[in-house]
Amino acid sequence: MVTRRSIGWLSQAADDPQQFRMMWSDDPRQPQLVSAGALFDVVVTDQQVGIEALDQLRRRGMPAGAVTIDRAARCTGFLVPPGTRGLFERTVAQETALPPTYRYLSNGSYVVLPGPVPLPGDRFEWLNPLMRPQHRSPLQTVALGVMLAASARLIERAEQYGQELADA
């Protein structure tokens, strides 16, 4: 569940912050479209890689930040500090020669955020809810880059293992 303080912070990314807060007050399950780039950027990746990366971040006590899931599109979105695209891309490039597929959303991009209280099974949910306004620490961006690369390799290796068994 997203806190009131976080709702106020997220509303600043909306075209009409007051209407944003009113909509979530009326229907806390309602997803909303907000712009990326001012308060946060978003790294969007495949659902399987994103869920594994979040799990790895949590297990290692690394900063994860807020994470969303779009079940219909089968993707996850990691909110990261704005303006950290270069740092993210350098980190991923240092970790692997074959980076996982991702989209980095910043200025000029929009993202759908789940309501503060979605129900399990809703199309849009918070995998890691926003409990307080995002930090502007680059550590979160670096940790995400490292774990996305590692998670993609782990999943690829697991799939290869299954193929090796099927081919034998």
Total domains, the chain: 1
Residue range 35-78, pLDDT digits in tens: 999 999 999 999 999 999 999 999 999 998 899 999 999 999 99
111 phi/psi in degrees, rounded to 5? -140, 145
Rounded average pLDDT over 23-31: 92
Q: Which residues contact 152 (CB under 8 A, 6 or more apart)?
A: 49, 96, 99, 100
- Give me the domain span that covers residue 84: 4-167
DSSP class of 38: S
Pairing of strands 67-70, 75-80: antiparallel
Residue 87's pLDDT is 97
What per-residue confidence (pLDDT) applies to 162? Answer: 63
